[in-house]
Amino acid sequence: MAQKKNTFIYLAAALLFAGGLGWLVFSGLSENSVYFLNVAEAKAQDPAKLASARLFGTVAPQGLARPDGAGDLRFLLEDKDDKAVTLAVTYRGTVPDTFKEGAEVIVEGGMQKDGSFSAKTLMTKCPSKYQKQNRQKL
C-alpha cells in the first residue's frame, strides 16, 4: 500500500512540474515575442503582422535627417546583403554617439501602415576599434 502512495506522489509532482514549466514557456513566448529580421525580410512581411519587431541593417548615406531638431530622427535602413533594399525609419529619443551613416544598427518598434518603421529603441553596433585586430606575433 505504501508503494502505491509513493508512486502517486511522484506522478503528481512530475505533472505539476511539467505543467508549471509548460505555462512558463508559453507565457514567456506569447507575451514578449519579437521578430528579429533584416530589412529585406521585413519588407516581404505584411506590415500588420510586424506590430512588434527588431530589425538590423546599415544606416544609408542618403535620407538621414533631423526635421524637428531636438529629438526626431529619420533615416533609411539598408539591408546588409542588398544595399538597394531600404526601409524608412523614424525615431524619437536619445541617439547613440556612434550613430552615423554606414553604422550597423538595430531598431526595435513596429511597422506602420504606410510601410515605414517607427522605432522605440535604437542601438548601434560597437565600432571596429573595439574589436580584436590582426596583430603580428612578437
* pLDDT, tens digit (0-9, with 9 covering 90-100), for 8-60: 888 888 999 998 888 877 766 555 566 778 888 888 888 878 888 899 999 99
Q: Cβ distance 80 to 38 under 8 Å?
A: yes
pLDDT confidence bin for 68, thresholds 50/70/90: low
Burial label, 117 (beta-carbon count in 10 A; 0-12, 13-18, 19+): buried
Prediction pTM value: 0.66
| Interval 93-101 mean pLDDT | 87
Architecture of the domain defined by 35-125? Beta Barrel (2.40)
Predicted local confidence at residue 129, as pLDDT: 54
Domain ranges of the chain: 1-33, 35-125
